[in-house]
Structure 1
Amino acid sequence: MPNDPANPEGPSAIDSIRPPAAPGAKRSAASARRSESARVAVLSAADDLLAERGFDGVTIEGIAARAGVAKQTIYRWWKSKAEILYDNLLQDAEKELVWPQPQPQPQPQRTAPADALRSYLRTFCAFLCTAPAGRVLQTLIGQAQLDPGAAATVRDGFLREQRARDLRRMHELLPDLGVDAPTEQQAAEALDALLAPVYYRVLVLGEPADAAFADAQVDLLLARIAARRPA
């Protein structure tokens, strides 16, 4: 948990090399540091409360009390608890849902694309099932079924952007999996074949999706691609 945001931090290295500023400017810089500290505290508090109490148990009042800030501070940046949780999701997913980058390897490299699929799907399963941001995503997807505003935020924001990143990487991998000149539709179908079973298992059945489950989905996709390959 960050330090009490009411306590200003010391001067930074950048501040030490700047020319002297007017007293008002110094106060503004200190205020900016306190604001960032408060923002981090709010995000951390919302994450903790969601894990402890579930979505219905998270309130702006509770977040403010846990973070040590005033409710007015929260409302300056967010309109609702859903927006706070959504910011947490974006911040964590950007760091955690990352495709493995191709590494230079001796020829042949035919196993590398399959390994990339397995690695990413295992990462996605772990993210959705065990990561704090995965709990946020599950919660927001559930809330989206009841709240059109939450649905628009999640679908038109995070899910659309994450899907675009996933589609780009899938499109890059398909040629090495034996799909010549893949279309966008083929990339979408391959991505859906991997991710849809995970969402169904976790969100509908309420069961975990482990590494073995992820590998099984990749094997099914590879078999499907092989069956469609011209003889």
Structure 2
Amino acid sequence: MLFADIQNNNEKNSNNSTNKNNNNNNNLGIDNNENNQTIFTNSFNIAVKKFWNNEFSEAEGIFNRFKNCIPRWNVTYAEMQLVKHLMKGQSLDNENPELSNALMEAEKLAIKVCENKDDFETSFSLFRTDIWKAYIRPNNSPSEDEAGFASLRANFRWDCELAMADILLFHAILQVVGGSEIKGAFNLRKAWKTYSKVRDEIDRIKRDAGKNDHKHEL
């Protein structure tokens, strides 16, 4: 998802440009775009492109790094299994243990992180240190990290909720195509409500930040 900054303009800190020579050898490329406004690494985006280009093994190798602890990575891995199922010309109502297991594991992790405070903090802490600081904003100063902490935490929570909504959407697709229209419609409605909830929260926070900016200008 795009990064939504919940700070007002007087609290924002500019990001330092990334040193292009800091790339590690663990297949997660550092993002060199200092204006990047997303919580995904370059390698995550590359993995998505790869599985849509039928390069499933390469994509899986990237997702495996964090899919067991970060809901978005796990849900996108499940999406890859769905795409693989379709690209192989298999009917959606055919049994596919690999797809079923991927959806189940992604849903379990998303629910655990979204509904349990300790699990959320564990997942967020790993995301912040091993993904955000390592690859997306490696040159942030401690003060920049501190100033952006609330925004980053809020964005991570929203993305976890959106990951849960995506799983409901995938279930709905499979159920409708498989003939379970009522179950599919129910999950589709649940997904839509979650998408709307996150959108409304972001809009509200942006409005509040805009009001604070206006007060500082007076």
Q: TM-score normalised to the size of structure 2?
A: 0.31
Q: Tell me which structure has the larger Cα radius of gyration.
A: 1
Greater RCO (CA < 8 Å, at least 6 residues apart): 2
Q: TM-score normalised to the size of structure 1?
A: 0.30
Task: Give 1 or 2: higher helix fraction.
Answer: 1
